[in-house]
Amino acid sequence: MKLTPDAHSRQDRAHRALMAEIDQNMRDTSAQTARSHLSPPVREALEKVNREDFVPVSRRQDAWNNYPLPIGYNQTISQPFIVALMTELLDLSPADRVLEIGTGSGYQTAILLQLAKEVFSIERIFALYEQAEVRLRPENTPTLHLRCGNGFSGWPEAAPFDAIIVTAAPETIPPALEQQLAENGRLVMPLGIPGLGQVLYRGVKHNGSLIMEAKLDVSFVPLIDNS
């Protein structure tokens, strides 16, 4: 559907307001995250990707609000600030290959595609995988690889990855993901049990060992092992 000039203007204002709120969130949490602002490439990616395209039609009026939204199947599209922070913590370069566990609506995937050389994304729920594939089809170049499968297994034939991002929370790090992370690779993921406390972690693989650092208390849907 083509937007009217007034609708474009409202959308632009809402997007700018959201970016200002994310900037404030970054400053407010910098003592925990050690990141007080977004890098220019991450900011540009967030400004380029239209969140309205990745939420259900019935919730598009809420797309520019800084909170998660349901996307069906007991899953959510993450809060924009958390998407921004997790992307920032990946420290991506244009040559990086990224594995994403939990495609969901495809919003985080679309942002990763602006920043990395290749993105491999896995979604366990087939209906969400199909929807994301349609939404991301304009970006479906050789740089994008989508799969419906078990995130706990990772994508072994495409490993190693320079960065791995997990958008749902397991209780512990799946061993396959640690194995598939390249030396000096970065892992950003939540860990914990829903309702009992979850923490966002950033890990770096050094000399074959993964060194994890807690960043921020968060709330995510659980990562399900459907093997």
From the number of C-beta atoms within 10 Å of its C-beta (0-12, 13-18, 19+), residue 183 rates as exposed
Helix axis angle for 5-28 and 40-48, nearest 10°, is 150
Per the CB < 8 A criterion, the answer to whether 105 and 54 are in contact is: yes
For the record, the structure tokens of 98 come out as 């990224």
- pTM for the full predicted model: 0.93
H helices present in the chain, as ranges = 5-28, 30-33, 40-48, 80-90, 107-113, 126-135, 175-180
Question: Which one of 39, 58, 78, 153 is the catalytic residue?
Answer: 78
Reported as a pLDDT band with limits 50, 70 and 90, residue 139 is low
Q: Which tens digits make up the pLDDT trace of 61-70?
A: 999 999 999 9
Q: Which tens digits make up the pLDDT trace of 58-97?
A: 999 999 999 999 999 989 999 999 999 999 999 999 999 9
Name the CATH superfamily housing domain 5-218. Vaccinia Virus protein VP39 (3.40.50.150)
DSSP state of 24: H
Q: Which tens digits make up the pLDDT trace of 189-219?
A: 999 987 788 999 999 999 999 999 999 999 9
Active site residue 78: yes
State residue 1's pLDDT score.
Answer: 46
